[in-house]
Amino acid sequence: MKIKNEAELLSTFCDKNEYRSLLRAPFFNTKYNEVWSTNGHILIRIKPERLVGEYPKGELSLPTLECPCKKKITIGAINKALDECPKVDEEIIVQDAVKCKECDGSGEVYWEYTDNHLHTHECLYDCPICDGTGEIKSEITRKTGKKIVDRKAVIKVGDAYMLAVYVSILKSTMKHLNVSFVEMLFNPPMGMSEFAIEDTRIGVAPSLYGEAIDKCCVELKLIDL
């Protein structure tokens, strides 16, 4: 069965402001014959047969998947965990940031120096045009008056600690694909956890382990399969 509104779904996993091209938009990963969309922290992998769009080709490697498990997570459990997370004021973008063309948004440039012995030295420094920000103009936001989950909030999911924002994306994917639960297939404390919705795979990287323990505010309830 084809996935409806695939562009809307895939766009939630990538980052259009990323300086690495494969993290800015969905692409067909020739190494696995799958369509991938990722920002480097969360990943969705879908068989091209389920999609309508044509995607540019690229190649990224899947990180090693460790600590196999058989757990089920319901959308009700995710809602409960997100409700218990600290909230902040919602802000919407009213004007996008302007990327620095000098460093292509990376915030860094190479400097080269030739010493008195005619030896050339290279080093990576902050871009002198944007002062390392990667932007000429910052984005402008406006508060909506609503409260949303703090992006920095941390949720314990099995043996891993994950940012609540990525758990929210997992939830929105479940709603998009009209399912009430996902299966957790891999759950290492320091590596990528993988979730399955039929033949679709979603990977979530953990937060920094030491910092995450201190910031963890809630534990997501898991069900054994």
- Per the CB < 8 A criterion, the answer to whether 158 and 183 are in contact is no
Which tokens go with 119? 């030896």
Residue 208 confidence (pLDDT): 67
The single-letter code of the amino acid at 178 is N
Residue 221 Cα distances to 32, 77, 188, 203, 207, angstroms: 32, 6, 17, 18, 18
- Per the CB < 8 A criterion, the answer to whether 95 and 132 are in contact is no
Max CA separation in the chain (angstroms):
69
Residue 36 confidence (pLDDT): 97
For range 134-160, the mean pLDDT: 89
Write down the pTM of the prediction: 0.77
Q: Which phi and psi (to 5°) does residue 111 adopt?
A: -110, 145
**Is 212's pLDDT higher than 70?**
no
CA 127 to centroid of chain Cα atoms? 25
Which tokens go with 152? 């920095």
Please name the residue that has the structure tokens 């302007």.
98
**Is 38's pLDDT higher than 90?**
yes
Most confident of 72-76, 101-105, 108-112, 153-157: 72-76
**Is 82's pLDDT higher than 90?**
yes
CA distance 191 to 41: 11
Residue 90 confidence (pLDDT): 87
